[in-house]
Structure 1
């Protein structure tokens, strides 16, 4: 990973000062400030299975480009009724720490599973300060990430001989998948998308994003400087952003014949309010699910979401239509 030296850090500080000074004079479109180029990688090897996010995150710090258990077996061939599954991680996450529980569960259920690391942008190209942390990916421009996802899907289809894949996206992973479906030809190659806590309608980030967008719309650019910290993709996910408005333009959430299962958790502290993850009522081919409906003991927050036994069962049921839903305790953050 590219590290920023003293000169690069000084340039960033000067750029931040310039944005602040310019912000009071004229509005700036935040999404156009620090796009830069980003890259994607195919994780190799397989890390151990995990039952909670924090140990998965800790392990991933030393192995940021390792695949989750069960994923990226390029010799795997789908059996009848089992489409390959592509897992799309969230902001500041990676294939391993996001999917070290769901990936092996899918593999045991007979699926060929694949996961990429995408949106890898250095600090100088819009990745934000998080880009300095090993394995903190999906910080680059989401429109570019959608293209990267498409390249990975094509590789999966060629390897497996399948004509379509299923997808699971956590947080930004959900809208990166939707960007691919709507604007990069993905609707012809995906049968079913499941999103977990996706920022489908943007997020207020508990009011921080709302305040920032309000100030920006008054002509003072505060989101641009913030992008230096959180990365381009973080700013693109604020509600009413140029990116979100384009993604949902014309009220068109469902694309083609793709099926959608949209799952939210009441304890989400990142996609806020949590209902903002849902597609509008009546959207074709769509099922909106609140994780706690029928299972109040599941306290999963945003990060614990993909380590919820109930969420795992919802994913499996979405794809096979048969799996029984699980109800088990899962702790906020530590689940």
Structure 2
């Protein structure tokens, strides 16, 4: 009988533990996927949803991160483009917001509507972020067309006073040759002017072709917003915004960063750029106002990301 008291005590302890469970341990957030393929997987699992950590409308900027960050995709959407950068910025302490703007006939793919329409939607989203957070200005990070469209917002919609830092990744500010393919389309449209008149005014991506008159409306001149700090990030291996220098700006309030100057082994192309660890380091440094220095790096492959 001497073992029974111990058994009873164990049983009572078990019952008490069931009635008063210990607090659940929060599952750690998964590490960001530094791969464009991670964004594609996120789109497959939950199409066109905000990337991890983004769009917390209760988030309030703190003194160390006074501007909320607005992320703007190119010919893609928020889910695919910002699957990596959004959680990194949240972990740095920023309030992060994203949206898919400019959708049309391509379903969840955004930035297909004319530049003017996309810019109006971007401006409305920025106003919503400012109203929700109480901030006076936002920081912008845009990829591809999402890096260039805000210039229309600055020039025509009064956006300059609402932006502090503006980071553009592989933006076709001065148009793109699409690695030479654009000339083929240009010949077709030149041969059939009616087709050009019917398609181009309704097609945002078409308005970014090299030599397009729509680029004058964008007017990518940093001098129009002297109080905005611009940082551009480009990669030598870009196959969409070509030549890659189209993603650079000129002015005293501009820092142009060629990725391979920081890491010669980085073979990131247009799409992998938003998940590239070196490029993300540049974004974080730019938003924090820090110097951008050469990175310790390892090989990064197109689409796939860093090689272990």
TM-score, normalised via structure 1 length: 0.75
Specify the alignment match of 1:88 in structure 2: 72
Deviation at 1:202, TM superposition (A): 0.6
Verify the 8 A CA contact 1:313 1:323 in the aligned structure 2.
Answer: no
Equivalent-residue separation in structure 2 for 1:224 and 1:333 (angstroms) = 35
Verify the 8 A CA contact 2:145 2:172 in the aligned structure 1.
Answer: yes
1:180 aligns with 2:153: yes
* Secondary structure, aligned partner of 2:261: coil
Equivalent-residue separation in structure 1 for 2:211 and 2:30 (angstroms) = 38
Unaligned segments of structure 2, at least 5 residues: 1-28
Deviation at 1:96, TM superposition (A): 1.3
Specify the alignment match of 2:218 in structure 1: 247
Q: Tell me: CA distance 1:312–1:253, structure 2 relative to 1, closer, same or farther (3 Å).
A: same
Equivalent-residue separation in structure 1 for 2:74 and 2:273 (angstroms) = 11
1:304-323 per-position Cα deviation (integer Å, ceiling 9, x unaligned): 00011011110011111337
Specify the alignment match of 1:71 in structure 2: 54
Equivalent-residue separation in structure 2 for 1:72 and 1:48 (angstroms) = 19
1:51 aligns with 2:24: no
1:144-191 per-position Cα deviation (integer Å, ceiling 9, x unaligned): 111111111111111111100101000010112222122111100000
* Secondary structure, aligned partner of 2:301: coil
Equivalent-residue separation in structure 1 for 2:195 and 2:242 (angstroms) = 20
Q: Tell me: CA distance 1:224–1:63, structure 2 relative to 1, closer, same or farther (3 Å).
A: farther
Equivalent-residue separation in structure 1 for 2:222 and 2:189 (angstroms) = 26
Equivalent-residue separation in structure 1 for 2:183 and 2:116 (angstroms) = 22
Q: Tell me: CA distance 1:193–1:70, structure 2 relative to 1, closer, same or farther (3 Å).
A: same
Q: Which moved more, 1:212-221 or 1:185-194?
A: 212-221
Deviation at 1:245, TM superposition (A): 2.3
Verify the 8 A CA contact 1:48 1:68 in the aligned structure 2.
Answer: no
Paired residues in the alignment total: 273
Deviation at 1:213, TM superposition (A): 3.0
Q: Tell me: CA distance 1:252–1:206, structure 2 relative to 1, closer, same or farther (3 Å).
A: same
Matches within 5 A, 1:248-327: 248=219, 252-256=221-225, 257-280=227-250, 283-322=251-290, 325=293, 326=295, 327=297
Matches within 5 A, 1:35-184: 49-82=32-65, 83-91=67-75, 93-121=76-104, 123=105, 131-132=106-107, 135-184=108-157
Specify the alignment match of 1:207 in structure 2: 180
Q: Tell me: CA distance 1:263–1:201, structure 2 relative to 1, closer, same or farther (3 Å).
A: same
Verify the 8 A CA contact 1:204 1:272 in the aligned structure 2.
Answer: yes
CA-atom RMSD, angstroms? 2.4
Equivalent-residue separation in structure 1 for 2:262 and 2:94 (angstroms) = 27
TM-score, normalised via structure 2 length: 0.82
Q: Which moved more, 1:166-175 or 1:233-242?
A: 233-242
Verify the 8 A CA contact 1:52 1:304 in the aligned structure 2.
Answer: yes
> Which protein, 1 or 2, shows the higher relative CO under an 8 Å CA cutoff with sep ≥ 6?
1
Verify the 8 A CA contact 1:187 1:258 in the aligned structure 2.
Answer: yes
Equivalent-residue separation in structure 2 for 1:332 and 1:311 (angstroms) = 13
Verify the 8 A CA contact 1:49 1:69 in the aligned structure 2.
Answer: no
Equivalent-residue separation in structure 1 for 2:203 and 2:216 (angstroms) = 16
Equivalent-residue separation in structure 2 for 1:328 and 1:71 (angstroms) = 28
Equivalent-residue separation in structure 2 for 1:252 and 1:321 (angstroms) = 21
Deviation at 1:59, TM superposition (A): 2.5
